[in-house]
Amino acid sequence: MGLRITKTTIAALLITTGLVLGGCQSLQHEPDNRLYMQLGERSGIADVVEDLLYLIVADERINHQFKGMNVAQFHRNLTDQLCELSGGPCTYTGREMRELHADMGITATQFNALAENLILAMEKNRIPTAAQNKLIKRLLPMYPDIRHL
């Protein structure tokens, strides 16, 4: 009797585990927009990019690079890019990253300055630490393109 119950329990556990795992797997097939939601959707991201712009303009280490840029276009394109990257329903239509930054000769100092400003802009908009880290993680592959390495 005791043995049967144990066997039944194990079977039940196995089935439940199978269902849960299966469920998780099927969930993963849907687009994962959790990060997008944590960033406050497109409007939340647009606020972060706006604050980022203010910080860039005030930052002596990098503002010279941005002289004469089209602010509205930069704001729209970067917002779309971060939106798409975080799993949101946007499509980036701006210029290609490597080509765009190629002639700027962006140094490690300047890249760090921009990363710092992005973090500060996210903090100002109360983006949770985990969401900040996840967004940066998704931006990392662009590092060699931006630095033209």
Partner 1 sequence: MTRLVAQPVKKLWAGTLVTLGLLASPVVMADVGSRIWATGGVTTIEGSAGGGLVPWAMLGSYASDEEWGGTLALSRAEVDDYSLAVTGAGLNWNNRIEVTVARQTLDLDSLVFTLKNGFGLEQDELNQDIFGVKVRLVGDVLYSPWGQWSAGLQHKRQRDFTVPNAIGARDDSGTDVYFSGSKVFFAAVFGRNLLVNGTLRGTRANQGGLLGFGGDLNNGYEVMAEAGVGVFINRQWLVGAEYRQKPDNLSFAREDDWWDMFIAWVPDRRLAVTAAFVNLGDIATLEDQQGIYLSLQGSF
Residues 125, 48 contacting (CB under 8 angstroms) = yes
CA distance 32 to 30: 6
CA distance 123 to 121: 5
- Does residue 74 bind ligand HEM (CB under 6 A)? yes
Nearer of residues 45 and 114 to ligand HEM, judged by Cβ: 114
CA distance 2 to 30: 43
Residues 135, 49 contacting (CB under 8 angstroms) = no
Specify the stretch interacting with partner 1 by CB under 8 A; choose among 22-30, 40-48, 86-94, 134-142: 134-142
Q: Write down the least CB distance from residue 73 to ligand HEM, Å.
A: 5
Short-list 89, 50, 91, CA closest to 72: 50
Residues in CB range of 43: below 8 A, 6 or more apart: none
Specify the stretch interacting with ligand HEM by CB under 6 A; choose among 6-14, 26-34, 45-53, 70-78: 70-78
Q: Pick from partner 1, ligand HEM, none: which does 66 bind, CB < 5 to 8 A by kind?
A: ligand HEM
- Does residue 130 bind ligand HEM (CB under 6 A)? no
* Of 111, 124, 125, 145, the one binding partner 1 by CB under 8 A: 111
Residues in the site for ligand HEM, rule: CB under 6 A? 62, 65-66, 69-70, 73-74, 77-78, 81, 94-95, 100-101, 104, 106, 110-111, 114, 139, 142, 146
